[in-house]
Amino acid sequence: MSSRRQFLGAAGLAGGAIAATAVSRVALSALPEPVIQTKPDTMPPLVPASGRPYNPVVTLNGWTLPWRMNNGVKEFHLVAEPVVREMAPGMKAHLWGYNGQSPGPTIEVVEGDRVRIFVTNKLPEHTSVHWHGQRLPNGMDGVGGLTQKAILPGKTFVYEFVARRPGTFMYHPHADEMTQMAMGMMGFWVTHPKAKHPLIDEVDRDFCFLLNAYDIDPGSYTPKIMTMLDFNLWSWNSRIFPGIDSLNVRLGDKVRIRIGNLTMTNHPIHLHGHEFLVTGTDGGPTPAAARWPEVTTDVAVGQMRQVEFVADEEGDWAFHCHKSHHTMNAMGHDVPTMIGVDHRGLARKITSLIPDYMVMGERGMADMAEMEMPLPDNTVPMMTGEGPFGSVEMGGMFSVLKVRAGQKPGDYSNPDWFKHPAGTVAYEWTGALAEPARSASGGAHMMSPQNMPAREIEVQVRKPRTNSGHAGH
Ligand SMILES: [Cu+2]
């Protein structure tokens, strides 16, 4: 087992250690050695060392699985196994995933590639892998019981098909799905077009991630798999803000973001400062005449969306799910509303019994973001993330698109906070405040009582009867 960083280093030095030429005939008849990644960082794009060239994607807080060429077949090795995933600094989850991580690595191939995927099951129960959205022989579709026998613990199965259709796909088990997806078994798949495609533009940056959700009680490590809707951690690639990396791009870059949803609800994904087009789904590229500008696109359960825009506005632009409960972390969901409640008297009485008692929320919940209250082990505050102007008061499905003139082509490193040009930041008014002039008008619309004097109302009631219908007034 080698880390991907070592692997990439070796590949760079040898100029393609994963190419078929570097693997002996004996080795080629064996399984490809699985590559394991345990770091939760966004790894640099994996530039293909063999096969047709393409512009690789960047998986947010993830990585792409290296392959080897074996007689013209791209061979991958996925290992389904329990993993420890850092969801944000200070919080680790005991999940199931592939090759050391949840989600598993992104698989990138080119339209027309013959692909062979070895799947080794190191889980305590059987599994299978379904290749969501792919055209393939029915027996390769990965539905346990329906199209294949389940992969028992300790066994390895082989899937083989031609990646016939370019686009945005994902993979996940089709065996004890409720458990295995709630535990984090999923991964991204991108099939690049083999040539210029009329509906698939070349882009400068191509990001991808999966929407997923967990129910992990503060202080514990393992998701509650029976939860149907009331999850407390809303994540992108099993990371929660402030643990989600920013999307760092160069001013003027054409950017594509691919998103897949394997949660139990829909997520309206919203980008600030730019309009985008939905250019494709897991069903393929969207016809040009069916694209219109949006700033939010809803990604329903089991759907994928790819959005594209030119990053032509410098700054730190929020990028998030627009369901406000999905930009909060654990502990924020089942708290009673206290706005306007003056419970100073009550608090005094309770404090005499419980000295650490705190009053929360009577001025809104923003105090929570800055509160330094002791948290149980292994959780993160419900909303947090320090920005240059204070707490961002966000959690969960939130990140930042950083657009910079100075970002070098191909450089994905995280720049400092945006330096706003003078006079372009919202500022405090320090002049005199005039008394607001409140309108004394009662309004003139239909429903205002002045316009509807009660005594002038006359109603004709018509009762449903078989013969004549008039029943007075
Ligand atoms: Cu959401």
Q: 321: CA distance to ligand 1 center in Å?
A: 5
In the reported structure, the alpha carbon of residue 329 is separated from the centroid of ligand 1 by a whole-number distance in angstroms of 12
209 alpha carbon – ligand 1 mean position (Å): 14
Other beta carbons within 10 Å of 5: 14
User: What is the C-alpha separation between 231 and 183, in angstroms, rounded?
Assistant: 13
CA 366 to ligand 1 center in whole angstroms? 20
Q: Is the pLDDT of residue 43 over 50?
A: yes
Read off the pLDDT of each residue in 416-422 and give the average, rounded to a whole number: 96
Query: Tens digits of per-residue pLDDT, 134-166?
Result: 999 999 999 999 999 999 999 999 999 999 999
Question: Which percentage of the chain shows pLDDT scores above 70?
Answer: 78
Whether 82 is in a domain gets the answer yes
Amino acid residing at 16: G
Whole-angstrom Cα Rg for the chain: 28
Work out the number of other CB atoms within 10 angstroms of the CB of residue 472. 7
In a domain, 431, yes or no: no
**Position 356 pLDDT exceeds 70:** no
Ligand 1: distance of its center to the CA of 327 in Å?
7
Question: Distance from the CA of 395 to the center of ligand 1, in angstroms?
Answer: 11
Rounded CA separation 280/263 (Å): 20
- What is the domain count for the chain? 1
Could you tell me the distance, in angstroms and rounded to a whole number, from the CA of residue 167 to the centre of ligand 1? 23
Q: Of 45, 42, 40, give the one whose Cα is nearest residue 8.
A: 45
Q: Tell the burial category of 362 from Cβ atoms under 10 Å away from its Cβ (0-12, 13-18, 19+).
A: middle
The answer to whether residue 119 sits within a structural domain is: yes
Residue 10: is its pLDDT beyond 50?
A: no
Contacts of 229 (CB under 8 A, 6+ apart): 264, 265
CA of 241 to the centre of ligand 1 (A): 13
Does 23 reside within a domain?
A: yes
For 3, residues 6+ apart whose C-beta sits below 8 A from its C-beta are 36, 37, 38, 39
- 226-269 confidence digits (pLDDT tens): 888 888 899 999 999 999 999 999 999 999 999 999 999 999 99
Q: In what order do the strands lie in the sheet with 267-271?
A: 247-250, 398-404, 315-321, 267-271, 296-299
What is the DSSP secondary-structure string of 383-447? SEEEETTEEEEE-BSEEEEEEETTPPTT----PPSP-PPTT-S-----S--PPP--------STT
Question: Ligand 1 (ion): which residues have CB within 5 A?
Answer: 267, 321, 323, 326
Q: How many angstroms is it from 41 CA to the middle of ligand 1?
A: 22
Average pLDDT, the chain: 86
Q: How far is the CA of 255 from the centre of ligand 1 (A)?
A: 22
Taking CA 168 as the corner, what is the angle to CA 47 and CA 63, rounded to the nearest 5 degrees?
40
CA of 265 to the centre of ligand 1 (A): 7
Which residue from 277, 282, 120 is spatially nearest to 190, judged by alpha carbons? 282
Does residue 352 lie in a domain region?
no
* 262 in Cβ contact with 213 (< 8 Å): no
- Those residues whose C-beta lies under 8 Å from the C-beta of residue 336, and which sit 6 or more positions away, are 361
Which two structure tokens, joined as six digits, stand for 230? 């009331």
Q: What is the whole-number distance in angstroms between the Cα of residue 359 and the centre of ligand 1?
A: 29
Residue 420 domain-assigned (yes or no): no
The pLDDT of residue 460 is above 80: no
Q: From the CA of 429, how far away is ligand 1's center (Å)?
A: 35
Distance CA 112, CA 51 (A): 11
Beta-bridged to residue 144, according to DSSP, are 148
Please give the structure tokens belonging to residue 63: 């990585």
- Domain boundaries, position 112: 4-193
Residue 68, domain CATH: 2.60.40.420
Average pLDDT (72-97) is 95
CA of 384 to the centre of ligand 1 (A): 17
- Tell me how far the alpha carbon of residue 227 lies from the centroid of ligand 1, in angstroms: 16
Cα of 320 from ligand 1 centre, angstroms: 8
Give me the residues paired with residue 396 across strands. Answer: 241
262 vs 301: CA distance, rounded Å: 6
Q: Provide the residue type at 87 as one letter.
A: M
**Does position 11 have pLDDT exceeding 80, yes or no?**
no
The alpha carbon of 312 and the centre of ligand 1 are apart by a number of angstroms equal to 26
| Helical H segments across 63-170, by residue range | none
pTM: 0.82
Cα(62) to centroid(ligand 1), Å: 20
**Ligand 1 centre and the CA of 121: distance in Å?**
31
At a CB cut-off of 8 Å and minimum separation 6, what does 202 contact?
55, 254
pLDDT (tens digit per residue) in 13-24: 333 334 444 567
Q: What's the Cα-to-Cα distance from 421 to each of 352, 418, 424, 426, rounded to whole Å?
A: 52, 9, 6, 12
Over the stretch 283-342, which tens digit does the pLDDT of each residue have?
999 999 999 999 999 999 999 999 999 999 999 999 999 998 899 887 555 555 556 666
How far away, in angstroms, is 324 Cα from ligand 1 center?
8
- Is residue 388 assigned to a domain? no
Cα 301 to middle of ligand 1, angstroms: 11
The DSSP 8-state label assigned to residue 449 in this structure reads G
Kind of pairing, strands 293-294 and 68-70?
unpaired
For ligand 1, the distance from its centroid to the CA atom of residue 147, given in whole angstroms, is 33
Distance from Cα 349 to the centre of ligand 1, integer Å: 40
Residue 374, domain member (yes or no): no
* CA-based nearest residue to 270, from 296, 292, 293, 251: 296
